[in-house]
Structure 1
Amino acid sequence: MPNEPSDRPDEPAENISGGPRGGGEHTVTPAESSDPEPTTRAEAVVDNLGERYWQKAYGGRDAFECLVRTILSQNTSDTASQPAHDSLLARYGGSADRTGAEDGGAGLASALATAEQDELAETISAAGLYNQKSETIIRLAGRIVEEYEGEAGFDEFVKSGHPDEVRDTLLKMKGVGPKTADCVLLFSGGRGGVFPVDTHVHRIARRMGLAPANADHEEVREAIESAIPPGKCGFGHTAMIQFGREYCTARKPACLDGPEACPLVEQCDQVGVDELSGEVIDPADVPADD
């Protein structure tokens, strides 16, 4: 596995899914937290992150719009993908018309299913990889219209279907990977126990020793989901991303400035981080102990 890519200088200061405006139905109060004392180190880490940033319950977003939003965010930052998302909704209808086939309205899925690819690519160009993403969005929109009669039917499936069935169905859609499927399950379906793994989560979980150093994204997801209560997965995911932006960056984690610089240093194995030399490598590249 190659070393981590350089940190993105254009990432916004705050995770788009966190903070007071980042979706989420409500802030979880201490009385709603499950166990007063964490039973695993992963749970203790998530509890600390929740206290530092936010404890929110997610769910309720329109499933198809969430799917599109996550595709736009692939391999780019929120700073780039958010304008693309806004432009797409402005041109193709968005939240102003989600009625779909039920009452004859066009609906976002129907509008995108019949969109000209070059026009859509131009609309979402801020997100990067716009030719590939526009092709994927048009193809998925057509499938949503054909199989679910529009986004209303798809939304019902995501919110009421069995989580395993929903995830398997999403993963069978070309262009939808595990992180995209899990984001739809979390932010639209509001499913507990879903911890999407992006580059920040993948790096931090292995660096801290919450997952094996050579674990892939799916293995990291399985390790974390098995170690924390379902209700803590949502805010654990978004808060860990924020922690990755502020402290546990790819090239220069805060611990290199001394143990007092990182609030989670006592819970971290610092796999791949050498405080003395300042060298930082991917955890998977750390030589195994003899």
Structure 2
Amino acid sequence: MSDDEPAENISGGSAGGGLAAEFDEHEAETRAEAVVDRLGERYWQKAYGGQDAFECLVRTILSQNTSDKASQPAHDALMDRYGDGTDLAVALADAEQSALAETIESAGLYNQKSKTMIAIAERVVDEYGSVDASGEDASDSETESRPAEEFDAFVTEEDPATVRETLLDFSGVGPKTADCVLLFSGGRAGVFPVDTHVHRIYRRLGIAAPDADHEGVREVLEAQVPAEKCGFGHTASIQFGREYCTARKPACLDDPEACPMADLCEQVGVYPATGEVTDPAEAD
């Protein structure tokens, strides 16, 4: 594992309550489940759910196209500036874009990400700020409207498919971001977010088609991995991708037995005899 990366996947935040992965003794029914079970023997397990939904959405946007090491300080700085005793959605909706961009600079793409966050915050305030925490119309109540709380209730209580469709309708929110919110905030079973590591690993293993896009890989994994193991499968696969199945130099190039998945892997796009590594979609 690179010294530049944390030992644990920070994007998951605190363990929180909610869905805990359980690893049964029975024989795995699919190769994908066998991979996740083996990851369960090697990496830490955690519970999913319990994060504030809007903060989780903001955190995941910060993590786009960067490492946890870069995005975590940006998240901490954002919360120090905008999350102290106020509704985060309201604070970001009212934020000056240049000031927000400066605050999250360490995460990279800060101008684009700050514009995305403000636009999403404005939409959350507009769509979820009409009622207060007690359910009364905010215009008829002295209680301050808390849009982020209403948004959190929507994410954790509404039908997952409806939540995902709504999140994907937000500008700047893609499938991986939407799925992370469903997993880390909602604690929803059967959600397997696909980032660049997951996309690479499961095509290289031969579990997903070599030319499958991110959504294609997600569909395969959510169909073949038991619902209660999907959350852990996501975070553990990221750790496995950092430590063993890296993009340019997977462990099997030096030693076929160095990788704990050696007997489960088809090495699509990996050629130990020549030392060549290609994207699985370009493999012979």
Q: TM above 0.5, one fold?
A: yes
Indicate the residue corresponding to 1:147 in structure 2: 127
From 85, 93, 118, the counterpart of 1:138? 118
Matched, 1:200 2:188: no
Q: Any idea what the Cα deviations from partners look like across 1:158-190, whole Å, max 9, x if unmatched?
A: 000000000000001111000000000000000
For residue 11 of structure 1, the aligned residue among 5, 26, 40 is 5
1:97-108 matches, within 5 Å, as: 97=85, 106-108=86-88
Whole-angstrom distance in 1 between the partners of 2:18 and 2:154:
23
The correspondence for 2:225, drawn from 220, 228, 232, is: 228
- Give the letter aligned to residue 98 of structure 2: D
CA distance in 1, matches of 2:48, 2:159: 17
Q: Is 1:171 equivalent to 2:168 in the alignment?
A: yes
Partner AA of 2:93 in structure 1: A
Q: Partner letter of residue 116 of structure 1?
A: E
Could you give the per-residue CA deviations for residues 135-174 of structure 1, whole angstroms, max 9, x where no partner exists? 0000101111110111000000000000000000000111
Which residue, 43, 46, 50 being the options, matches 2:33? Answer: 43
Answer whether contact 1:34 1:229 (CA < 8 A) is retained: no
Note the C-alpha offset of 1:51.
Answer: 1.4
Q: Could you report, residue by residue, the CA deviation over 1:31-88 in whole angstroms, capped at 9, with x for unpaired residues?
A: x435621100000000000111023230010000000000000000001100000000
Report the Cα distance in structure 1 between the residues aligned to 2:175 and 2:98, rounded to whole angstroms: 27
Alignment partner, residue 33 of structure 1: 23
Aligned-residue identity in percent = 68
CA shift, 1:8, in A, is: 8.1
Match among 270, 274, 286 for residue 283 of structure 2: 286
Instruction: Tell me, in whole angstroms, the C-alpha distance in 2 between the residues paired with 1:115 and 1:89.
Output: 13
State the secondary structure of the residue aligned to 1:260. coil
Between the aligned partners of 1:89 and 1:49, the Cα distance in structure 2 is 33
Indicate how the Cα distance of structure 1 residues 54 and 13 shifts in structure 2: closer, same or farther if over 3 A, else same. closer
Which of 55-64 and 229-238 deviates more?
55-64
RMSD value, Cα: 1.9
Look up the SS of the partner of 1:226 in the other structure: helix
Alignment of 1:250-261 (within 5 A): 250-261=247-258
Select between 253-262 and 48-57 the one with higher mean Cα deviation.
48-57
The alignment partner of 2:49 has SS state of coil
Structure 2: any 5+ residue segments left out of the alignment? 130-146
Kindly indicate whether the alpha-carbon contact (under 8 Å) linking 1:25 and 1:56 is maintained by their aligned counterparts in 2: no
Equivalent positions of 1:45-124 (< 5 A) are 45-93=35-83, 96-97=84-85, 106-124=86-104
Distance 2:9 2:193 in 1: 14
Aligned match of 2:15: 23
- Asked if the contact 1:194–1:230 (Cα under 8 Å) also holds between the matched residues in 2, the reply is yes
Q: Is the 8 A contact 2:20 2:46 kept in 1?
A: yes
3-state secondary structure, aligned to 2:270: coil
TM-score, length of structure 2 as denominator length: 0.90
**Which whole-Å CA distance do the structure 1 matches of 2:71 and 2:20 have between them?**
28
8 Å contact 1:159–1:189 — kept in the other structure?
yes
- Residue by residue, what CA displacement relative to the aligned partner does 1:233-260 show, whole Å, maximum 9, x if unpaired? 0000000000000000000000011122
C-alpha displacement at 1:127, in angstroms? 0.3
Q: After TM superposition, give the deviation of residue 9 of structure 1 in Å.
A: 7.4
The residue identity in structure 1 corresponding to 2:61 is: I
Return the alpha-carbon distance in structure 1 between the equivalents of residues 16 and 42 of structure 2: 17
- Relative distance call for 1:35 and 1:226 in structure 2 (3 A) is farther
**Unpaired stretches in structure 1, ≥5 consecutive residues:** 1-6, 98-105
Q: 2:207 and 2:75 mapped to 1: Cα distance? A: 33
Deviation per CA, 1:196-230, whole angstroms, max 9, x where unpaired?
Answer: 00000000010001100000000000000000110
Aligned amino acid, residue 79 of structure 2: L
The 1-side partners of 2:26 and 2:268 are apart by: 29
